[in-house]
Homo-oligomer: A and B are copies of this chain.
């Protein structure tokens, strides 16, 4: 029995004890070592993930440069909706920044689970709305904010990310050079 899954499922009062026990048996929970590549750019995207523990980085290789396009942490789903469920070749690589404990899903396993556990479909729908909201906000911040404001937003929304990922990856995600990010950090530290 997976401890992280048990702790997570216990947050949902709407699931019965029986449902939780069945889900523990039926959900595909796996541990991936640090640096595991879950999906490689240009490969078919056939799985989705939900992070029970760990951090995943998403990047796009452009002229041999890795541009980080997302960081996902605990209790976030990693679903490339444009590619998953078709499936289409991915425009991104997904890599484990740390050892990760993940629920692994496929279109088929999702459909089966939602049929068996309608409450789970509702929970997933709500989590999808939260994830959608975060992505909308990240996009709107990217359009309306300066790199410094984006960095401060990241500090607010994912404060522990700074201890978990190298600075040059954070810089690439914020759309600045590592040197610019260092300057931004110094300016903020002085405030």
| A residues whose Cβ falls under 8 Å from a Cβ of B | 60, 62, 67-70, 79-82, 85, 91-92, 121, 125, 128-140, 142-144, 173, 175
C-alpha gap A136/B78 in the complex (Å): 11
Chain B residue at minimal CB-CB distance from A125: B125
Question: Please, which residues of chain B bring their CB within 8 A of the CB of A132?
Answer: 79, 81, 128, 131-132, 135
C-alpha gap A135/B138 in the complex (Å): 10
Chain B residue at minimal CB-CB distance from A118: B118
By secondary structure, the A interface counts as helix
Question: Please, which residues of chain B bring their CB within 8 A of the CB of A136?
Answer: 80-82, 135
Question: Please, which residues of chain B bring their CB within 8 A of the CB of A62?
Answer: 144
Output the least CB separation between A73 and chain B (Å).
17
C-alpha gap A133/B92 in the complex (Å): 13
Q: Are B67 and A137 in contact (CB under 8 A)?
A: no
Question: Please, which residues of chain B bring their CB within 8 A of the CB of A135?
Answer: 132, 135-136, 139
C-alpha gap A131/B140 in the complex (Å): 15
Output the least CB separation between A184 and chain B (Å).
17
Output the least CB separation between A108 and chain B (Å).
15
C-alpha gap A173/B130 in the complex (Å): 24
Residues A133 and B82 in contact in the complex (CB < 8 Å), given A62-B144, A140-B92: yes
Output the least CB separation between A95 and chain B (Å).
15
